[in-house]
Amino acid sequence: MKTRPTIRDVAQLAGVSVGTASKALTESGKLRPETRARVRAIAKEIGFRPNDLAHSLHRGQSQTVGVISTDSFGRFTMPIMEGLEACLSERRISVIMCNATDDPEREARHVETLLGKRVDGIVVTARRADRRPPLAVDTHGLPLLYVFSRTEDPDALCLVPDDESGAQLATAHLLGVGRRRLAHITGPERFEAVRLRRAGFVNALQAAGLDPGAAPVLAGVWSEAWGREALDRLFASAQPPDAIFCGNDLIARGVIDRLRERGIDVPAAVSVVGFDNWEIIAEATRPPLTTIDMNLTRLGHEAGRRLIELIDGAPSTGLQRMPCSLVVRESCGARAPT
């Protein structure tokens, strides 16, 4: 097995001392330009790399941050990680990924490991944006940021999608294509996102002068099967809806499948809008689904930017809700903006 070249190899080949080689490579000390150039050329030739660990120790920064996720590398964490990593890698900051599942002991162990590695900051993320207890380990003022996750700690900086205004966007879109008999089929009430999305739905109806009390809201689970079941319930009434805002794309998929099975045309007779812009679902739905995108990759990128600010010493706290956007496909009858 080849071994990695060391500073000693560089020095020997350049015919200088280790101290001189080190000065040449770190741009420090006084050296003749030819010596510096020769040492650097040899280092490059044999593939010597300065030891960043040693630099980190010296500088007190490791150029590394940790991510603690309770999402088991799930579908919400992934786009967030993608944005975060893209942002941080521009600053040559590496991301250590720790999967805490929902086990507080495992989480504490991960935090200890990250502190031992002298990470420059920690990002906490989750499978849902609900409140969670603060990290159980004292991180002694280390920059700390919650993304798609929030905590009670008023000193923490938390970034979450703006569910309520996302739901308002969806509802306003249904009203904008001329629908008036709206219904909302959504997930479990214990999710804050469910409560916020319903509030956005209600607000948008009120803003349009409609009576929210006349608009059915059915809360169930996050599944296609629930979408089909809830659709059947709505269409058992004398006055079924002409538009349905669904709490996520899986529910919307079930709703649209059942409408087809009942011979009801989407979007001619009923408009449907989802939430998530989970492309594998939204693009395969017949017709393709108009839906709300939480912009999670952008959220992750913003988390990286804000974490760098924290690392650079600019304090920042509080809960910030980042905007969602509407992705227009074919399920509402509106044309995509050109």
Least distance between its own copies and beta carbon 260 (Å): 8
Q: Rule CB under 8 A: which residues touch its own copies?
A: 1-5, 47, 49-54, 56-57, 62-64, 66, 72-75, 78-79, 81-82, 85-86, 89, 92, 94-99, 109-110, 112-118, 138, 140-142, 223-225, 250, 257, 280, 284, 315
Least distance between its own copies and beta carbon 250 (Å): 7
Q: What ranges make up the beta strands (E) of the chain?
A: 64-69, 94-99, 121-125, 131-132, 144-147, 150-151, 157-161, 182-186, 217-219, 243-246, 271-275, 290-293, 318-322, 325-327
**For 122, which DSSP code?**
E
Least distance between its own copies and beta carbon 8 (Å): 14
Least distance between its own copies and beta carbon 102 (Å): 14
Task: Please say which residue, 201 or 226, places its beta carbon nearer to its own copies.
Answer: 226
Task: Please say which residue, 78 or 319, places its beta carbon nearer to its own copies.
Answer: 78
Residue 136 phi/psi, 5-degree rounding, is: -80, -10
Rounded-to-5 percentages of helix, strand, coil across the chain:
45, 15, 40
Per the structure block, which two tokens stand in for 222? 């996050």
- Give the three-class secondary structure for 150: strand
Task: Please say which residue, 50 or 176, places its beta carbon nearer to its own copies.
Answer: 50
Task: Please say which residue, 66 or 216, places its beta carbon nearer to its own copies.
Answer: 66
Least distance between its own copies and beta carbon 213 (Å): 33
Task: Please say which residue, 214 or 225, places its beta carbon nearer to its own copies.
Answer: 225
Of 138, 77, 59, 68, which Cα lies nearest the Cα of 103? 68
Q: Could you write out the DSSP letters of every residue in 269-295?
A: T-EEEEES--HHHHTTSSSPPEEEE--
